[in-house]
Structure 1
Amino acid sequence: MKKIGIDVRLYRQTGVGTYLRNYLHWLLQKENPLFSYHLFALPQDALELQSTYPGVIIHEAPYLWHSVKEQTSYYIALEKQRLDLMHFTYFGYPILYKRPFVTTIHDMTPLFFKTGKSSTQHGLIYELKHRAFQYVLKSQVTNSKAIITPTKTIRNQLLSYYGMKYKSKIFPIYEGMGYELTQSTSNDRLKSTYPFPFYIYVGNFYPHKNINRLIEVFSRIQGDSKLVLVGPDDYFAKSLKTSMPQSDNIRFYHNPTFSDLVFFYMHAKALIHPSLSEGFGLPIIEAAYYNCSIIASDIDVFKELLADHYISFNPFSIDHMSQVIQFFDGQKKERPDYNKLLDHFSFKEMTAQTEMIYRNILK
């Protein structure tokens, strides 16, 4: 039986955490006679993982991503296990690790934009960390036996950045609709808090998400519709609140439950996603599942995922964003039917394709 390790340190994070929870949900539903799975998790997640997947070996890995300990202690911990294959599910891995591994690269955003906690740091510190990140990622791309991306767009960006020589080992595999959300019911108690027509944004508030321009748009728009920004109550949210103009049109809703998200998707006039860069865009798939209209940036990844099933705008132009949203707001539309579109997106199918990559490497 082959030993396969999976890096699940981001199990409870947004974005990558949703990917991991759904991947494990489908991968570990039944025992695989060919593989023995070893999960490397933060200590605070280990107990939950062990109770959810009692037949799987859990290793505590108290090493944060992009840290010195990731390069030292995590490397030692992995070497001790003598794995036949390791799956690093995020940017970053111990560069001394020479045993076979697979990498999932979710997007190229950190190469092109300041993003995440690092973007809050002093310029020199950020620059040093960014150069280290570039070095580690290049090593990860070079040495991976296979690279999984969530879209063809990210595959193409990788090839453009690192060269066509890696084409044969990059596999675009679409993600899907999370089981945690589909199993949840709407929190209809929110109806009394949101009795007015509203649009939603769902996600983080990092600078590349372009929420500052969306706020500017809704501070200008006249009418009854509001904007509800659904996401974490963190440094970036606080920064937006401090700098934004006074407006009754804009509300924040922090740390939503799955039931809260169901309510927002079911009752919003549309999801607005103004991002400048994405690897996939889980909120777009979630909105489509609830037949919530989608208004979003005209970036390549959204064009790939949605084709002509959404209304697009130039995310760099506040005027164009305003024109598109106001035009939509003036229309009386039935909620769209995205069922055919959703046929292309499945975490269950993603899991099957990922496991097939393991099998091919370990033949």
Structure 2
Amino acid sequence: MTRIGIDCRLAGQEHAGIGRYTQNLVQRLVLNKDINWVLFFSNSTQAREILPQKLDHVKEVITPIRHYSLLEQIKLPLIFAKEKLDLLHVPHFNVPIFYQGKIVVTIHDLLWHEQRGSHVTTLPAWKYRLKYWGYTETVKKAVEKAAKIFVPSTTVAATLAKYYPKAKDKTIVTYEGVEQTYLDHEIKEKPRKKQLVYTGSLYPHKNIKVVFQALQKLPDFSLKLVGSRNVFQDNTKTLVKNYKLTNQVEFLGKLSDKDLIKLYEESFALVFPSFSEGFGLPGLEAMAVGLSVIASDIPIFREIYKNAAAYFNPLSSAELLETIHALNSSRKFLTKAGKDRVKSFSWDKMTDKTFKIYQQVLKQNHA
């Protein structure tokens, strides 16, 4: 029986967008019992989060090797090779470059190709340069080695082709989906508080600074920041103090889907001010439960959200301010357009397309 391996070390809620992608993909793929699936998890807790019950046709290999580490490049290829896989899917760019088997890879974005320099890191300059070199070499090798490359949008496909022209013919767009919890939620008309929500990390490319600048001129509005703690949270707290917004900005940390939906129900809008993204899942989740989305006017958001978001120039806090003031007049339209737009995205469709590509690659193996 065919053996397909999936590197699941970044699966689950802890790992944000990549984690959600991998979790949804794996949970659907393993429904196919005609394949021997080999799943590589960091630990047994993660394995049970993704697959609550063990399955006879699924082998779980506990692989406590940290991503982006030296061991990932030295020891992990041996672990993969031991399983004698017909195909390996690495759902991120961090491919072990010495692995000799057939692979497919998912590249969610090329953010660090587009955003680089001292402002995007908290590392000393020498360490950042070394890490950046490691990143570019790994992506280069991943692109070279992969039989197929999955990307979440045509925007990322175009960026990939710009940096790696030879990747164009083997790149496959597989749009992501929205959790059923959001899709099943009934939109209710209710009064909305004057509070904005931002969901995501606080890396510099997320451009949260422009929201703070607008908030200074909106003294009756608050901002709720949702997301796991990361190295840039302290920098963001300093920005909040510098802009004198301590009483308007609240760090809520990581929320469950249920609590996030509750927050979205009572809020004025989700703000998504990024300079760069690979997909933009938080915006679709907000739309699914009836929360209007104010997004930066960048190609990826135009591709994913179409006419279901209110757009602004991410370099202009004045334009963001205008968009916030004008939102109520277009809220009814955005709510309907958002609910309709979300129907275009499905984890099931993504998984079906992914598996068809697996089959193509496996046929090529035997040709």
Q: Cα RMSD (Å) of the superposition?
A: 2.3
Residues 184, 68 of structure 1: CA spacing in aligned structure 2 closer, same or farther, 3 A cutoff? farther
Which secondary structure does the structure 2 equivalent of 1:220 belong to?
A: coil
Distance 2:294 2:6 in 1: 35
Map of 1:252-291 to 2, 5 A cutoff? 252-291=251-290
SS of aligned partner of 1:14: helix
- For 1:68, the equivalent position in structure 2 comes to 70
Q: Scaled by the length of structure 1, what TM-score is found?
A: 0.90
Structure-to-structure mapping, 1:1-363, within 5 angstroms? 1-12=1-12, 13-28=15-30, 30-33=31-34, 35-43=35-43, 44-49=45-50, 51-55=52-56, 56-114=58-116, 119-163=121-165, 165-179=166-180, 181=182, 196-222=193-219, 224-244=220-240, 245-247=243-245, 248-328=247-327, 331=329, 333-334=331-332, 336-337=335-336, 338-363=338-363
Q: 3-state DSSP class of the match of 1:62?
A: coil
Say which SS state the counterpart of residue 52 (structure 1) adopts.
coil
**Structure 1: which 5+ residue stretches go unaligned?**
none
Q: Matched residues, percent identical?
A: 31
Q: Distance in 1 between matches of 2:145 and 2:168?
A: 14
Distance in 1 (CA, whole Å) between partners of 2:262 and 2:316 is: 30
Contact 2:226 2:252 (8 Å CA) reproduced: yes
Following TM superposition, by how much is the alpha carbon of 1:235 offset from its aligned partner in structure 2, in angstroms? 2.8
Deviation at 1:47, TM superposition (A): 4.5
Q: 1:76 to 1:251 in 2, by over 3 A?
A: same
CA distance in 1, matches of 2:37, 2:181: 23
What is the SS of the residue equivalent to 1:362? helix
Write the distance in 1 (CA, Å) between the matches of 2:146 and 2:185.
37
Distance in 1, matches of 2:310 and 2:54, equals 41
The one-letter code matched in structure 2 to 1:202 is: T
State the distance in 1 between where 2:178 and 2:42 align.
25
* TM-score, normalised with respect to structure 2: 0.89
- 1:332 CA displacement: 7.4
CA contact (8 A) 1:114 1:207 kept: no
**Are the equivalent residues in 1 in contact too, given 2:91–2:106 (CA < 8 A)?**
yes
Q: Which runs of 4+ in 1 moved over 6 A?
A: 183-186
Mapped partners of 1:184, 1:58: distance in 2 = 34
Paired residue secondary structure (1:291): coil
Q: State the Cα distance separating 1:263 from its structure 2 match.
A: 0.7
What CA distance in whole angstroms lies between the structure 2 residues aligned with 1:183 and 1:332?
Answer: 24
Residues 246-296 of structure 1, C-alpha deviation per residue, up to 9 Å, x if partnerless? 223322211111111111222222111001100001101101111211110
Confirm or deny: 8 A CA contact 2:192 2:267 kept in the other structure.
no
Instruction: Sort the Cα spacing of 1:113 and 1:80 in 2 relative to 1 into closer, same or farther, 3 A.
Output: same
1:129-180 CA-partner distances (Å, limit 9, x unpaired): 11111011011011100000000000010001111x3222100111010245
Q: Classify 1:270/1:91 alpha carbon distance in 2 versus 1 (closer, same or farther; 3 Å).
A: same
Once the 2 structures are TM-superposed, how far is the Cα of residue 322 of structure 1 from its aligned partner? 2.2
- One-letter amino acid of the structure 2 residue matched with residue 41 of structure 1: F
Query: Is the 1:218–1:250 contact (alpha carbons within 8 Å) kept by the matching residues of 2?
Result: no
Cα deviation for residue 326 of structure 1 reads 2.8
CA distance in 2 between partners of 1:94 and 1:71 (Å): 5
Give the 3-state SS of the residue equivalent to 1:87 in structure 2: strand
Which amino acid letter does the alignment assign opposite residue 240 of structure 1? T
Residues 204 and 138 (structure 1 numbering): CA distance in 2 closer, same or farther, change over 3 Å? same
Counting matched residue pairs gives: 350
Q: Which residue identity is paired with 2:322? A: Q
